[in-house]
Amino acid sequence: MYMKCSHGAKDGLRMFQGIQSPDVISWTSLIAGLSEHGFHRDSFDLYMEMTASGLQPNSVTLSTILRSCRAAKSESQLLKLHGHVIKTNADHDIVVSNALVDAYAGNERVDEAWHLIRNMSQRDALTYTGLATRLNQMGHHEMALQVINHMFNDDIKMDGYSMAGFLSASAGLNSLETGMQLHSYSVKSGLSSFISVSNGLVSFYGKCGLTHDAERAFAEISKPDIVSWNGLISVLASYGHISSALSAFDNMRLAGVKPDSLTFLLVLFTCTHGGLVDMGLEYFNSMEEMHGIEPQLDHYVCLFDLLGRAGRLEEAMEILLQLIIIAVLAVS
């Protein structure tokens, strides 16, 4: 809990060092905190220190450190952890087994992930959802859709997360038939009420070029979140509906949903392709002034494109200089 509230992982480490006899919960909390802050190597070293002290990790500890291995894409650490899981019979815990599947799939070792699944004594929706998610991230959308058959063979029903993942795979393949079948199933099963599924439908129809269906899917969301609005703006902007995309941005703010960094990237993209230079500059300047969002490299690149297309080369060169400075600072 402290790790989530601290200003940095070092604060949590100092607090941990003040504990005379840390228990498993204390160790796990610090390991999770280090991992969340991106210190994956440190989290693994701490895990090894914990086991060397004689304390046995619980399922939460193991699933946490396995997530860290997946994020760090560290195969050597993953293999060591897998060996420890087998040695302690922790692989009989479905939480740990699911984390192992996710870690192997996240390291692009799909065959090993499937081998683990086949040998699990118990499987649930999360088992398959984790695998399908990683397959999507690797661009193996067809393989992700094949996971559906395995779920049905195990008599495991889809949940909101798995449905969203399969819709994403359908969108990646532009498979209209499969996506529409999933849409029909989501309505019949009640899964369409999940915001993740609704957002997936907006994205799916948008990527298939069916903007009206995407808008209809959005309209059926009772309380759109930032992902919903970004999805709608992206669809409208991608197909040249400039005024509609900017109207969606205005409606989002009127609905009380705060824009994020991606929202402004989409708005700048919209202005670029609509030739709305001055409006684009206004949006860019309002990011930090009105919304407290610091422009990132992608925003500057989009602004450079906006000015360059409009022939405002002097201003574009100023942006280019800022891009060079950002790039230098990033590697220094």
Half-sphere exposure of 228 (CA within 13 A, CB side): 22
pTM for the complete prediction? 0.84
Residue 19 confidence (pLDDT): 64
- Would residue 108 be called left, alpha or beta, if left means φ above 0 and alpha means ψ between -120 and 50 degrees? left
Residue 262 confidence (pLDDT): 98
Instruction: Tell me the mean pLDDT in the region 216-236.
Output: 98
In the DSSP assignment, the letter for residue 259 is P
Tokens found for residue 75:
């195969």
Cβ pair 38, 70 in contact under 8 A: no
Q: How confident is the model at residue 54 (pLDDT cuts 50, 70, 90)?
A: confident
Q: Please check the confidence at residue 224 and state whether its pLDDT lies above 90.
A: yes
Residue 55 confidence (pLDDT): 87
DSSP state string for 75-117:
HHHHHHHHHHHHHTTGGGSHHHHHHHHHHHHHTT-HHHHHHHH
The domains of the chain are located at 237-332
CA-CA-CA-CA torsion sign (85, 89, 93, 94): positive
Which segment of 28-42, 176-190, 203-217 scores lowest on mean pLDDT?
28-42
Residue closest to 97 by CA, chosen among 72, 68, 114, 120: 120
Q: Please check the confidence at residue 276 and state whether its pLDDT lies above 50.
A: yes
CA 171 to chain CA centroid, Å, is 16
Instruction: Tell me the mean pLDDT in the region 54-78.
Output: 90
The CA distance from 178 to 279, in Å, is 40
User: Counting every residue, how long is the chain?
Assistant: 332
Instruction: Tell me the mean pLDDT in the region 219-230.
Output: 97
- For the stretch 179-206, pLDDT in tens is 999 999 999 999 999 999 999 999 999 9
Return the percentage of the chain with pLDDT > 90, whole number: 70
The CA distance from 89 to 112, in Å, is 18
Q: How confident is the model at residue 1 (pLDDT cuts 50, 70, 90)?
A: very low
Residue 26 confidence (pLDDT): 85
Residue 174 confidence (pLDDT): 95
